[in-house]
């Protein structure tokens, strides 16, 4: 009898999906052909604090963009955060596309 992983997850990515799920990460998509795995990652708590800080201090229009990177020097994950505010003409810089709106 095959287990769930053998029936549903392609071999090259299967050990990674199993590792993530066994350690509490909710994977929802993966592909062994192009070697990717997507999982829910709970980053909303620090972003929510930032959001609240800005809103509670009168900033009503802003965008937040996040990117997670591995810092090989310090061997830890880093979350790069960019906060965009409207320019003088009321528009946002084109690089703000894909950001969370405030």
pLDDT tens across the length of the chain (102 residues): 569 999 999 898 898 889 888 887 778 888 887 888 787 655 555 678 778 888 998 888 888 877 777 767 766 676 677 878 888 788 887 877 664 554
pLDDT score for 42: 55
- Verify that 96 and 56 share a domain, yes or no: yes
* 35 and 57 both lie in a single domain: no
Instruction: Give the structural domain span for 82.
Output: 44-101
pTM of the model: 0.50
Could you tell me if 21 and 54 lie in one domain? Answer: no
Do residues 55 and 93 share a domain?
yes
Residue 86's pLDDT is 85
Q: Are residues 54 and 89 in the same domain?
A: yes
pLDDT score, position 73:
75
Buried b (16+ CB within 10 A) or exposed e, 14-23: eebbeebbee
Please report the pLDDT score of residue 25 as a whole number: 74
Compute the distance between CA of residue 67 and CA of residue 82 in angstroms, rounded to an integer: 9
The reply to whether 23 and 65 lie within a common domain is no
Output the pLDDT for position 54: 84
Q: Are residues 58 and 90 in the same domain?
A: yes
Q: DSSP 3-state assignment of 85? A: coil
Q: Are residues 20 and 51 in the same domain?
A: no
- Residue 89: per-residue pLDDT: 87
Q: Give the total number of structural domains in the chain.
A: 2
């Amino acid at each position: 009898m095959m287990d769930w992983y053998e029936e549903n997850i392609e071999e090259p990515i299967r050990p990674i999906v199993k590792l993530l799920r066994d350690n509490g990460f909710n994977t929802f998509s993966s592909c062994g052909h192009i070697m990717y795995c997507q999982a829910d990652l709970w980053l909303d708590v620090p972003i929510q604090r930032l959001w609240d800080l800005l809103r509670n201090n009168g900033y009503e229009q802003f965008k937040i963009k996040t990117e997670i990177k591995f810092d090989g020097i310090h061997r830890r994950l880093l979350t790069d955060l960019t906060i965009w505010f409207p320019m003088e003409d009321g528009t946002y810089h084109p690089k703000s596309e894909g950001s969370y709106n405030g």
